[in-house]
Homo-oligomer: A and B are copies of this chain.
């Protein structure tokens, strides 16, 4: 695994726990953790369960005892590492966003396709697809349980920038973060919409907005946090993205990604209205799915709160008895399981790099639309 931040913890937990709850066809071995500082990486490796620590990812991906490379570094490094790893014949799991630019994502997708021809697998980490309620929502749509899709609302609401005095971290600087709410969380809303509906966004119209345009500069800091100083600098990414997309069936989906929805901590929500039913999901209540069956008698229709904790629900049977809740991290075990199974079976795991590229293209089109007075802009 390359990268040693918060996402590294989540992926480590996924790799470590998956084989204990799922019967995997291959046993993952957690070999090498690659970070920037050897000492710190050693500590992390030990803590998270990796056998070795290293600082040179190029060396590691050449090692013959390494089969899988898991990339959890910041987005601007994904392309270089992933392409090198795929070319070295390693299966690659790459955290989202696939890359910071469409060009990089295209190069990665090319590499993934070349690799696939040699039986080398790749996958991008839109983990929320693997929350059981989300997977179950996809299954219900696929089974025709809500009929033809009429419209979609997808939003990812957070509020951690509400405080105008929160400091100007690298995540608020375009050259380092690529984009703001759009790429960081809007990407999840797009992917989840496409996953559950089975359709893709073809055209968009939207606006990106920076709500607080100047923030205190950080003083010297180590790590993610730091102390604000008296000086101020410009926020160069979006705080809020509002856009509408046209799905392949012609239906409209409206999107919102924001870090300013005071009181909403991690509300990735999607509601899908169909001709014979509807579905509603909120990541803040990730063990629940609301389902509306419009074919019931009018007097008996209503959104029903399904606790997605029954043995028959996706992934759930391998965990605890019915009624016992799962959390954020379980999606990473599901991801690890599915990726290992695809490698073992020789099948193509999803979401593929091409899926990740497509999401990047949607985000890029939103940015272009925003720059063009919200004109409808094709995704390509």
Residues of A within 8 A of B (CB): 6, 10, 12-13, 16-17, 20, 47-49, 136, 146, 150-151, 153, 158-160, 162-164, 205, 207, 209, 211, 240, 242, 244, 251-252, 254, 256, 258, 260-263, 265-266, 271, 273-278, 280, 283-287, 290-292, 294, 297-307, 309-310, 312-313, 320-330, 373-376
Q: Are A306 and B301 in contact (CB under 8 A)?
A: yes
- When distances are taken between beta carbons in the complex, the residues of chain B under 8 Å from A13 are 17, 20
| Chain A to chain B contacts (Cβ below 8 Å), 24 pairs | A12-B20, A13-B17, A136-B299, A146-B262, A151-B211, A151-B261, A160-B322, A162-B294, A164-B275, A205-B207, A207-B244, A240-B252, A258-B273, A262-B275, A262-B276, A263-B280, A283-B325, A299-B310, A299-B312, A300-B306, A304-B304, A304-B305, A325-B328, A327-B329
Q: Are B252 and A207 in contact (CB under 8 A)?
A: yes
Known contacts: A150-B162, A261-B273, A275-B162. The answer to whether A284 contacts B304 by CB under 8 A is no
Q: Are A262 and B158 in contact (CB under 8 A)?
A: no
Known contacts: A300-B306, A327-B325. The answer to whether A262 contacts B242 by CB under 8 A is no
Q: Give min CB distance, A308 to chain B, whole Å.
A: 8
Partner of A263, one of B286, B294, B312: B294
Residue in A47, A265, A373 with the greatest tally of chain B CB atoms within 10 Å: A265
CA distance A301 to B329 in the complex (A): 24
